[in-house]
């Protein structure tokens, strides 16, 4: 077998496989990058640590192993963290800093992230973390706009991340509403069309604070 994995790698391979459901030791060995005896050794370790349970079967059925409820949550969290790292790896450091600050402020203010994101969704618009009310219409609008930008990037022969960087660079040369719209991915033509619809200028609604 090529490229024998380390102890922690094999243990993680076992747990990731069992995240899909209970499985026999034979099937577990098949998905691990290690010798049979090594897999059994680490499987027994996980069992002794109460991270994996054993389910004996009657008759001719094979006994199976399964993750404990605690380990299911722990492994799923680790995999999600890895996915999040991959998703944000292409973002510029300033946008990552903004995301960090968003989550940090939620923690400091005692906001329950789970409850918050049940009613709101987090997305990246122009590479900037934004939250939107999770209505069906809002969610669909975000998905539609992301698809539009992905198609534009494809036509230019670049990735969506490269397209974002291009728009953000263009936005640095602008000010006011055009700068904001450009950073969100709008083209010059679309911005000009919006300007004309508003009578040749951008009308910004301001909410003034009432004096006591």
Domain boundaries, given as residue ranges, for the chain: 7-72, 92-197
CATH architecture of residue range(s) 7-72: Orthogonal Bundle (1.10)
pLDDT digits (tens, 9 = 90+) for 31-46: 998 899 999 999 999 9
Is the Cα dihedral 194, 197, 198, 201 positive or negative?
positive
Q: Is the pLDDT of residue 138 over 90?
A: no
Rg (CA), the chain: 25
pLDDT digits (tens, 9 = 90+) for 172-198: 888 888 888 888 888 888 888 888 887
C-alpha distances out from residue 164 to 43, 171, 190, Å: 46, 10, 16
**CA 31/CA 13 separation, integer angstroms:** 7
The pLDDT of residue 58: 63
**CA 104/CA 203 separation, integer angstroms:** 34
């Amino acid at each position: 077998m090529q490229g024998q994995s380390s102890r922690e790698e094999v243990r993680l391979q076992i747990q990731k496989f069992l995240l899909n459901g209970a499985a026999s030791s034979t099937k577990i060995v098949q998905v691990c990058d290690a010798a049979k005896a090594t897999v059994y050794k680490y499987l027994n370790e996980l069992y002794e640590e109460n991270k994996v349970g054993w389910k004996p079967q009657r008759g001719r059925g094979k006994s199976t192993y399964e993750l404990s409820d605690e380990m299911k949550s722990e492994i799923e969290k680790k995999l999600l963290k890895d996915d999040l790292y991959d998703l944000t790896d292409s973002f510029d450091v300033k946008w990552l800093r903004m995301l960090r600050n968003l989550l940090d402020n939620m923690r400091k203010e005692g906001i329950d992230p789970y409850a918050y994101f049940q009613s709101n969704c987090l997305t990246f618009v122009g590479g900037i973390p934004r939250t939107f009310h999770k209505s069906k219409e809002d969610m669909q609008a975000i998905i539609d706009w992301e698809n539009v930008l992905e198609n534009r990037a494809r036509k230019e022969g670049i990735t969506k991340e490269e397209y974002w960087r291009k728009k953000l660079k263009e936005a640095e040369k602008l000010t006011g509403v055009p700068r904001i719209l450009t950073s969100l991915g709008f083209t010059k033509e679309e911005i000009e069309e919006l300007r004309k619809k508003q009578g040749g200028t951008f009308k910004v609604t301001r909410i003034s604070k009432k004096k006591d």
